């Protein structure tokens, strides 16, 4: 059964290596001379006296590198790169800010102010490239309200990311209390041509949730904030000035479709679910697995997603008896934090599978493609049918660690964590379930 864990690790490793963010961004900007095409939109660089770049998110450095490589050598963009870890290289013309994630820091506030200052000086002769990837919601922040400070926003972010709500519901709240989210960066430069390139860690069709949609029309409303707050007890868990505003809906509405801010704004998805599925499927098949991809468990509670995906794996095995089979899934599962342990939703998902797969020729792997799983130093974890026996020999019960939200500690002791460090990528979480024939 240890071979199945190795196969799962190999599929993840090859998938991650196949997704090159910089090359993907470079390819997304089709250029002949000064004429550029992004998706179906074409523009001439000669029409602009200034080119700014705002690269925000975990893949910010790779995205900025790809864009700079795609532009003509005589175009020298200026702007801002906001990332969660010190980049390998500082790009000329771009100020680098290392800010906080998953909770904003003082540097996140500085990044928010810097972004708005850049955009305030943009007119019709300015071209702005927004390079967005996951993590941007915390990395760049500025409260909409003058009486709200850093501690208030940190408290709100912490409450939201631990309450068990899906990402689009979390972001509905974030957008309505921020001066930089929910289309408000686009609104800060209404006359400029704005090109947003995205590396997405959110479901297809919900791109306005990416980095809390700073350049896209916001489909959520104040009524959504009220509903989310009541369902998850958000306002009740806050102690600062935001509690009353969120509870009563005393909030400004965000820019919507048709707003002047978006008349010269264009969005193009560079990398997302399809590219990750394609690579993972190819490497799983190459490893000898009959493979299917499934994205139906996005935003499901862990236990429901676990039961569904293990059921899919069992069904696939019955259809292909005598063959090794694999189910690949993506997206976020909902993991409510119930303790003060170390871990995240990926290691928690694997931990929830341990007793279900005990004694069976099955391996389960779940990872964040950004290399980060919650508050742990790992990307995720892997388990197989021997994990429960090994844990109990060491005096560890999976249920106890799950209740404490301490999945990382469980798998770290068993040497089954997956640690990559920050990858510079941020597509979606990846889950790989493999089953071998009995006997």
Given this model, what pLDDT does residue 428 score?
Answer: 77
Q: Residue 96: how many CB atoms within 10 A of its CB?
A: 18
Is the same domain home to 195 and 72?
yes
Is the same domain home to 257 and 283?
no
Q: What is the pTM of this model?
A: 0.81
Domain span at 333: 2-10+274-435
Given this model, what pLDDT does residue 424 score?
Answer: 73
Is the same domain home to 172 and 250?
yes
Peptide bond into 221 cis (omega under 30): no
Angle at 378 between CA 284 and CA 404, to 5 degrees: 115
What is the C-alpha to C-alpha distance for residues 225 and 210, in angstroms, rounded to an integer?
18
Packed helices 21-28 and 60-70: angle between N→C axes, nearest 10 degrees: 40
Domain boundary among 271, 290, 307: 271
Is the same domain home to 303 and 405?
yes
What is the C-alpha to C-alpha distance for residues 80 and 122, in angstroms, rounded to an integer?
14
What is the C-alpha to C-alpha distance for residues 156 and 104, in angstroms, rounded to an integer?
10
Residue of 130, 109, 137 lying closest to 270 (CA atoms): 130
- What pLDDT, in 10s, does the model give residues 300-347? 999 999 999 999 999 999 999 999 999 999 888 888 888 889 999 999
Is the same domain home to 223 and 285?
no
Residue of 255, 263, 404, 251 lying closest to 338 (CA atoms): 404
**CATH code for position 294:** 3.40.1480.10
Whether 16 maps to a domain, the answer reads: no
Whether 15 maps to a domain, the answer reads: no
The radius of gyration of the chain from alpha carbons, rounded to an integer in Å, stands at 22
Given this model, what pLDDT does residue 91 score?
Answer: 87
Given this model, what pLDDT does residue 204 score?
Answer: 65
Is the same domain home to 103 and 175?
yes
In order along its 439 residues, the chain shows pLDDT tens digits of 459 999 999 999 998 888 888 988 999 999 999 999 999 999 999 999 999 999 999 889 999 999 999 999 999 999 999 998 888 877 899 999 999 988 899 999 999 999 999 999 899 999 999 999 988 999 999 999 999 999 999 999 999 988 888 888 999 999 999 999 999 999 999 999 999 999 876 666 778 888 899 999 999 999 999 999 999 999 999 998 999 999 999 999 999 999 999 999 999 988 876 778 888 999 999 999 999 999 889 889 999 999 999 999 999 999 999 999 999 998 888 888 888 899 999 999 999 999 999 999 999 999 988 888 988 999 999 999 999 999 999 999 999 999 999 999 999 999 999 998 887 777 778 999 999 997 6
Is the same domain home to 254 and 279?
no
Is the same domain home to 103 and 244?
yes
The whole-chain average pLDDT of the chain stands at: 93
Given this model, what pLDDT does residue 146 score?
Answer: 94
Is the same domain home to 256 and 281?
no
Is the same domain home to 193 and 85?
yes
In total, how many domains does the chain have? Answer: 2
Given this model, what pLDDT does residue 370 score?
Answer: 84
């Amino acid at each position: 059964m240890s071979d199945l864990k190795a196969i799962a690790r190999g599929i993840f490793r090859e998938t991650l290596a196949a997704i090159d963010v910089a090359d993907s961004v470079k390819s997304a900007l089709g250029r002949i001379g000064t004429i550029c095409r992004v998706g179906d939109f074409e523009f001439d660089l000669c029409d602009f006296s200034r080119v700014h770049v705002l690269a925000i998110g975990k893949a910010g450095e790779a995205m900025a590198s790809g864009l700079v490589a795609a532009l003509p050598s005589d175009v020298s963009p200026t702007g801002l790169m906001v990332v969660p870890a010190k980049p390998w290289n500082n790009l000329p013309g771009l100020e680098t800010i290392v800010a906080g994630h998953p909770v904003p820091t003082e540097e996140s506030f500085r990044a928010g102010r810097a972004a708005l200052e850049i955009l305030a000086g943009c007119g019709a002769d300015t071209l702005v490239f927004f390079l967005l990837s996951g993590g941007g919601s915390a990395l760049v922040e500025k409260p909409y309200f003058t009486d709200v400070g850093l501690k208030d926003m940190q408290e709100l972010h912490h409450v939201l990311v631990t309450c068990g709500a899906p990402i689009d519901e979390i972001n509905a709240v974030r957008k309505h209390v921020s001066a930089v989210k929910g289309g408000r960066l686009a609104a800060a430069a209404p006359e400029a041509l704005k090109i947003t390139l995205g590396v997405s860690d959110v479901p297809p069709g919900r791109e306005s949730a990416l980095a809390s949609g700073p350049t896209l029309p916001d489909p959520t409303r104040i009524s959504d904030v009220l509903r989310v707050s009541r369902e998850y007890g958000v306002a009740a868990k806050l102690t600062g000035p935001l509690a009353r505003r969120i509870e009563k809906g005393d909030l400004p509405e965000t820019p919507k479709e048709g707003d002047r801010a978006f008349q010269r704004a264009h969005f193009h998805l560079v990398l997302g679910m399809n590219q990750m599925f394609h690579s993972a499927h190819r490497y799983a098949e190459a490893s000898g697995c009959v493979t299917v991809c499934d994205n139906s468990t996005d935003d499901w509670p862990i236990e429901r997603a676990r039961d569904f995906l293990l059921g899919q794996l069992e069904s696939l095995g019955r259809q292909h008896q005598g063959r090794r089979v694999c189910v690949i899934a993506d997206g976020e599962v909902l993991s409510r934090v119930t303790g003060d342990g170390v871990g995240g939703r990926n290691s928690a998902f694997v931990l929830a599978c341990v007793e279900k797969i005990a004694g069976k020729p099955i391996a389960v792997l779940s990872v964040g493609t950004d290399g980060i799983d919650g508050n742990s130093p790992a990307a995720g974890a892997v388990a197989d049918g021997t994990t429960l026996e090994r844990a109990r020999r060491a005096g560890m019960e999976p249920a106890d660690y799950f209740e404490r939200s301490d999945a990382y500690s469980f798998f770290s002791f068993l040497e089954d964590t997956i640690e990559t460090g920050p990858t510079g990528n941020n597509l979606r979480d990846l889950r790989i379930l493999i089953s071998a024939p009995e006997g």
